[in-house]
């Protein structure tokens, strides 16, 4: 748990709940978070809510609005209870607490279940022009950032990926994926760019709830699908999609949407997956963690499917 999660002042939190939710906290259900503080509370009026406190950003208001519209459209997500409201120097939001559910559907149906849930989200989401800005994209999705260097600044301000050398194969994968994504473009849609198993819960093979609506961003459909296809899990939440899993997701997504991707869209989907996995691998290397998000051999195979190849044989 981060210091930010620990640092939320109970008196300030109680005052915020009274002011914006109309009831004081009676009990704490859980507390978690890394760069944000996520606190589950039982209020005095017996409602169970989740309050999230994080650094202020203009994009948070748009994320809450997307979540609100998705809830109203019947998509399985927590009901927003507030907008983005000041919390000292930070910003806080509240939503209904949705407990329970399994982290994964059945392994035999995982690709189809994750892909159909994502297709439904893309289909129901508002158009980018209908909400305020979702920029800047979260760093792992910010392939088209305008900063110096290959890699964007992480959300953690104390980490700079561009100041740490190598590994060469990760930088090569990120560079080639970014260049392939920049080679063509299409109309932007809104979607979830962190389609990890930890952000979804299931009742059997039926989607129970999607969490982490701060991860909404606007990009081409092919790119957003590529992120999801590379990040979901099939047999363990600790293991990201294999190349074969990604391929199954892309097939299932196109079937759910009722149209096939063009060759260009498929290559961009694969490139998006390389970018986000390479970004995570670079971050892991930079902070001294084991590199688990991508291997050199898998990067080579995924790059082959982008149409860019790899410098290494």
Tens of pLDDT along the chain (313 residues)? 344 555 789 999 999 999 999 999 999 999 998 778 999 999 999 999 999 999 999 999 999 999 999 999 999 999 999 999 999 999 999 999 999 999 999 999 999 999 999 999 999 999 999 999 999 999 999 999 999 999 999 988 889 999 999 999 999 999 999 999 999 988 999 999 999 999 999 999 999 999 999 999 999 999 999 999 999 999 999 999 999 999 999 999 999 999 999 999 999 999 999 999 999 999 999 999 999 999 999 999 999 999 986 554 4
Choosing from 69, 96, 123, the residue where a domain stops is: 96
- My answer on whether 175 and 278 are in the same domain is yes
Residue 177 φ then ψ, to 5°: -65, -45
* CATH number for position 41: 3.30.200.20
pLDDT of residue 162: 97
- My answer on whether 51 and 149 are in the same domain is no
d(CA 69, CA 241): 29
Instruction: Identify whether 285 is part of a domain.
Output: yes
Question: How many other CB atoms are found less than 10 A from the CB of residue 260?
Answer: 12
- My answer on whether 90 and 139 are in the same domain is no
- My answer on whether 89 and 115 are in the same domain is no
Find out whether 296 and 169 touch, Cβ atoms under 8 Å: yes
Choosing from 76, 96, 116, the residue where a domain stops is: 96
DSSP class of 156 = S
Instruction: Identify whether 11 is part of a domain.
Output: no
d(CA 167, CA 184): 27
User: Domain limits at 242?
Assistant: 107-304
Residue 187 φ then ψ, to 5°: -60, 140
- My answer on whether 121 and 235 are in the same domain is yes
- My answer on whether 181 and 66 are in the same domain is no
- My answer on whether 204 and 299 are in the same domain is yes
Instruction: Identify whether 147 is part of a domain.
Output: yes
- My answer on whether 114 and 43 are in the same domain is no
Find out whether 4 and 37 touch, Cβ atoms under 8 Å: yes
pLDDT of residue 218: 98
Choosing from 74, 96, 118, the residue where a domain stops is: 96
- My answer on whether 155 and 258 are in the same domain is yes
Domains: count for the chain: 2
Q: Which residues contact 185 (CB under 8 A, 6 or more apart)?
A: 220
pLDDT of residue 312: 46
Instruction: Identify whether 21 is part of a domain.
Output: no
Question: How many other CB atoms are found less than 10 A from the CB of residue 69?
Answer: 17
Instruction: Identify whether 311 is part of a domain.
Output: no
Instruction: Identify whether 1 is part of a domain.
Output: no
Closest CA to 135 of 211, 217, 225: 217
Q: Quick one: the chain helix, strand, coil %, rounded to 5?
A: 45, 15, 40
d(CA 189, CA 219): 6
* CATH number for position 130: 3.90.1200.10
- My answer on whether 139 and 215 are in the same domain is yes
Instruction: Identify whether 234 is part of a domain.
Output: yes
Instruction: Identify whether 162 is part of a domain.
Output: yes
d(CA 189, CA 127): 6
Question: Is the Cα torsion angle 227, 228, 230, 232 positive or negative in sign?
Answer: positive
pLDDT of residue 309: 60
pTM > 0.85? yes
pLDDT of residue 157: 83
- My answer on whether 248 and 185 are in the same domain is yes
Maximum distance among all Cα pairs of the chain, rounded to whole angstroms: 64
d(CA 171, CA 168): 5
pLDDT of residue 248: 98
Name residue 38's beta-bridge partners.
Answer: 32, 52
- My answer on whether 77 and 122 are in the same domain is no
pLDDT of residue 59: 96
């Amino acid at each position: 748990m981060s210091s930010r999660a620990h640092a939320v002042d109970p008196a300030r939190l109680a005052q915020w709940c009274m002011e914006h939710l109309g009831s004081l906290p009676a009990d704490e259900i859980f507390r978690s978070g890394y760069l944000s503080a996520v606190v589950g509370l039982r209020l005095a009026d017996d409602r169970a809510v989740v309050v999230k406190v994080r650094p202020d950003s203009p994009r948070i208001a748009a994320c809450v609005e997307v979540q609100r519209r998705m809830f109203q459209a019947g998509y399985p997500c927590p009901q927003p209870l507030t907008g983005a409201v000041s919390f000292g120097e930070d910003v806080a939001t509240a939503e209904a607490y949705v407990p329970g559910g399994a982290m994964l559907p059945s392994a035999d149906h995982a690709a189809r279940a994750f892909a159909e849930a994502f297709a439904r989200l893309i289909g129901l989401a508002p158009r980018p022009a209908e909400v305020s800005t979702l920029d800047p994209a979260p760093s792992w999705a910010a392939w088209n950032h305008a900063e110096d260097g290959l890699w964007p600044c992480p959300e953690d301000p104390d980490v700079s990926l561009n100041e740490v050398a190598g590994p060469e194969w990760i930088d090569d994968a990120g560079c080639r994926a970014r260049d392939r994504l920049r080679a063509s473009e299409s109309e932007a849609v809104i979607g979830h760019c962190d389609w990890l198993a930890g952000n979804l819960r299931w009742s059997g093979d039926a989607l129970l709830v999607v969490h982490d609506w701060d991860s909404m961003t606007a990009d081409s459909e092919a790119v957003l699908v590529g992120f999801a296809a590379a990040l979901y899990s099939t047999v363990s939440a600790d293991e990201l999609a294999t190349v074969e899993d990604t391929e199954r997701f892309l097939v299932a997504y196109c079937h759910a949407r009722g149209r096939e991707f063009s060759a260009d869209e498929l290559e961009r989907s694969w490139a998006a997956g390389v970018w986000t996995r390479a970004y995570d691998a670079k971050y892991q290397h930079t902070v001294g963690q084991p590199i688990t998000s991508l291997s050199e051999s898998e990067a080579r195979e995924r790059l082959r499917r982008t149409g860019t190849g790899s410098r290494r044989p």
